[in-house]
A and B are shown apart, each in its own frame.
Chain A
Amino acid sequence: MTDIPLYRLRAFEASFIEPHMLFLEEYPQARDDALELLALHLMAGDQFVRGASHGLLRMCLLVESEAWLEAGRRAGYFPYAAGTPEIVIGEVPLDKLAARLGYYTGPLQEAFSSADPNRLATQLALEAEGLTPSRLEYLRLLIFAENDEQRKRIEQAEQVAALFVRRPDITMPTDAMDEISWVLHGPDDEIYEEDDPSLMEWPSRWRREQSWHERQWAENAQNLRDRVKRCRQQFEAAIAQVALDERRAGELQNRDVNAAAETVGYSEAAAVDADILYWDQEDGIGNE
């Protein structure tokens, strides 16, 4: 059956809803820890239920997906008639959790009546691929993780950055790079081409750094954000030094090649003279 809006809806469900539902099913502890935290209304400071951060992130992304659905319906991009099955987490409908998750996301169900379907289509494609593992980890650590974990993870990255500055020729093993990938690839300026204010129109705005000043939890995240920024500045300085060293090495190589060419010319000429002299001496012809 050909039905373009319904086809789009199914594609959206596959990209935006199913991965997070699958995660919560495969990691029930993360789901249950998050549900426990939400039930206990503990959302500030150090009073996190350990392990809740993974589940909370996924639940917030599911709340966001509901807002995208509504935006799509209003734009005529998705159908109104054929609905998406209600999202239930554990045994709790997502609707019931949305109010408490609003602590993290703020209000997302706003009027998107002016959303252009073309812009929506492009934005959905960009959003789907923008949620890389590094980006997810960055968001989880900044917004949902407890202080101990934040401290441990940023210290790892700071150690690598400091090592790189001291030893620009260093090579790092894969697992070490995986651990700090969130610092390298997670921040907004690694994901988005520019600081576009129109990005704030979309349901994903709750995870844009430019909206974080509106959120209560942002104060807790500021220290970590600052450390991430300083860490990245160290990486930037180190890579600039590498670039400079490579450029100098290239210039030096060119100079040596030129100098060597001149030297070879001189040696060859001297060797030719010596051979002639030797031959002459052997045969007793010529020089005496």
Chain B
Amino acid sequence: MVFVHGFRGKAVATWDEFSSSGHTDLWWRDTDMLFVGYDSAHDNITAVADRVRTNLRKFYPKPHTPAMNLGGTTPRDDTSTPYGELVALGHSLGGLVLRRAMADAAQDRLDSETAGEKPQHQEILNAKLRLFSPASAGFRPAGMLGLVKASGLGTVVEMYLRRSSAYTDLQPGSELLVTTRNRTEQLAPQFSQLRARILWANPDDVVNTERYNTDFVAETVDQQSHSTVCKPNPQYGLPLHFGATGRRP
């Protein structure tokens, strides 16, 4: 399972108790988890998407060898059998990153087939795409203040003062949002894996809660905010169930 965080830049903390979920459920115990980190205030969204797409082969379909052996010690007996399933979970901006990565992989396959070449970096097209309040339709009109509440003052100030990609590209109607949506909707009939399952927070005061036309009908969870929607805890187990199945119980 690949986790891609949103605005605040914490690869693991975004997902709270996902990292210890193996103690609650056998399905999770049998899951290796890859938490992707990037600097949301500095990095271009397209660059992060490219990084995810091109580096996934190091971790899938076979387990990442350097992580499976530390000083001659392994976490389990079998560290080489390929994985049976790949799930990509994205929260907020991370959802947009994953969408872009998958659309680019699909486009690359078509281009390669047309050119008679072998496509590369196709691993991500094996993923089941499950998103928590994705930022694929950009910030809400009152998004700046909601973003401060969700992501912290420092992140928003830095994004704004740098005019980072995460700030400019998430203005509704931006080139990045429009092209990602158009490409996904054009390619999804051929590549059904581009269709996302989505769980929205209600209320979400940071991002526009719009899905693509080709997505599955979205689910909503009340009394969770944009930042808490993806964080399981003993009282809120839905993220674990949604992550594992793509649906509500």
Contacts and interface: CB of A to CB of B under 8 A. Distances in A.
A and B: interacting chains:
yes
Contact of B20 (A14, A121, A130, A185): A121
Contacts of B10: 129-130
Interface string B58-72: 000000000000111
B158 A10 contact: no
Most buried by B among A11, A121, A183, A185: A185
B158 A177 contact: yes
B158 A181 contact: yes
Contact of A243 (B74, B76, B142): B142
Contacts of A189: 152
Given A10-B73, A171-B163, A239 B144 contact: yes
Interface in A116-132: 118-119, 121-122, 125-126, 128-130, 132
A240 B145 contact: yes
B109 to A, nearest CB: 34
Most buried by A among B42, B155, B158: B158
Given A126-B12, A184-B158, A185-B154, A7 B73 contact: yes
A45 to B, nearest CB: 30
Contacts of A172: 161-162
B161 A122 contact: no
A232 B153 contact: yes
Contacts of B42: 174
Interface string A208-225: 000000000000000000
Given A10-B71, A129-B37, A250-B141, A239 B11 contact: no
Contact of B156 (A170, A239, A246): A239
Contacts of A183: 154
A190 B142 contact: no
A258 to B, nearest CB: 16
B75 A7 contact: yes
Nearest to B8: A190
Contacts of B191: none
Interface of A is mostly: helix
A1 B73 CA distance: 5
Contacts of A190: 152-155
A50 interface: no
Contacts, number: 100
A78 to B, nearest CB: 12
A177 B161 contact: yes
Given A1-B74, A6-B73, A7-B70, A129 B156 contact: no
B142 A247 contact: yes
Contacts of A3: 73-74
Most buried by B among A122, A126, A132, A183: A122
B73 A246 contact: no
A17 to B, nearest CB: 13
Contacts of A1: 72-74
Contact of A184 (B20, B74, B76, B157): B157
Contact of B13 (A126, A184, A185, A250): A126
Contacts of A164: 157, 161
A41 B74 CA distance: 44
A2 interface: yes
A242 B19 contact: no
B148 interface: yes
A242 B160 contact: yes
A7 B74 contact: yes
B23 interface: yes
21 contacts: A2-B73, A2-B74, A2-B76, A11-B70, A122-B17, A126-B12, A126-B13, A129-B10, A129-B13, A160-B161, A171-B161, A172-B162, A184-B154, A185-B154, A185-B155, A235-B157, A236-B153, A239-B144, A239-B153, A243-B144, A246-B144
- Considering the complex of A and B, which 9 residue pairs feature the smallest CB-CB distances, nearest first? A184-B154, A243-B144, A10-B70, A185-B154, A172-B161, A10-B71, A7-B73, A125-B12, A6-B73
Given A128-B12, A184-B153, A190-B152, 13 more contacts: A2-B76, A3-B73, A4-B75, A7-B73, A10-B70, A125-B19, A126-B13, A164-B161, A172-B162, A177-B162, A240-B145, A243-B144, A246-B144
Interface of B: 9-13, 16-17, 19-20, 23, 37, 42, 70-77, 141-142, 144-145, 148, 152-158, 160-163
